[in-house]
Structure 1
Amino acid sequence: MKEFQRKQLLERVNREGATIGATIPDEIEVQGETLDLQEFVFEIKRRDTIPSGERDRVDRAKRNLRRERIERLEKIEDDEVSYEEGERLVESIIGIDRALNALEQLEPVDLEQEAQVQEAADKKRWMNFLNKALGRDSDNKGIRR
């Protein structure tokens, strides 16, 4: 494969919105095992949230998909494949990305917890600002209580 072709393939993978209109592959070989990816994603998405009993299975699948994505991308980056094989790898990587996006959207968002984390971070930033403005160390030395 020529260098410009390899760069073109890599650009397609990293393009913003590459997964728009992409389909999740029916099956994919991930870490040596065949996974019915589309069925798995749709089965999990039907539930709106990930049941606690399925969380480990979903997390393991996401880790394996990320690992497989990296391995496939490295084959293109390291110029180990022909242009035609690179095209197939790009399509599969985009499919993996689509599946990962679908699975990531299922993570429950705890708004109350996020608000508490944000408030704690705001307080910490404010205290750091006050300490700097008053010429005190950030480890609170010199602050009377």
Structure 2
Amino acid sequence: MYEAYHDQGLEILDIPCNQFAGQTPGTDEEIHEFCTLKYHTQFPQMKKSDVNGENALDLYKFLKSKQGFNGFGKGPKALMMSAMLKKIDKDYKNNPEIKWNFTKFLVDREGNVVARFEPTASMNDVRAAVAGLL
């Protein structure tokens, strides 16, 4: 998607986070190497940071304040995520916190946070929303 839309103004900021079951334990350099070698990423990658809690980046505090959690949608992935999170936090549906890795926020050219996509969202839906803004 980055290659397809970058010339039209799309920017992707990759901010690694290790707050979800320790899935991103490496150093910033190791994470960058893994992403570029395995996925051929070309967009900027920031330092590993917290997205929830008192040490969350101000960026994520802002994003979550504008687009709270609206559920995982439907389908097997959504059911799995819901079941997993209920074990951790029975009230997970009622707070805006990031629930898992690969939550995406779509921000328009004016800085308005127009959408939040949970990790269960279809990339086709993400692409359509991006294309609609460009």
TM-score of the superposed pair, with normalisation by structure 1: 0.23
Larger-gyration structure (1/2): 1
Higher RCO, Cα 8 Å, sep 6+? 1
Structure having the higher helix fraction is 1
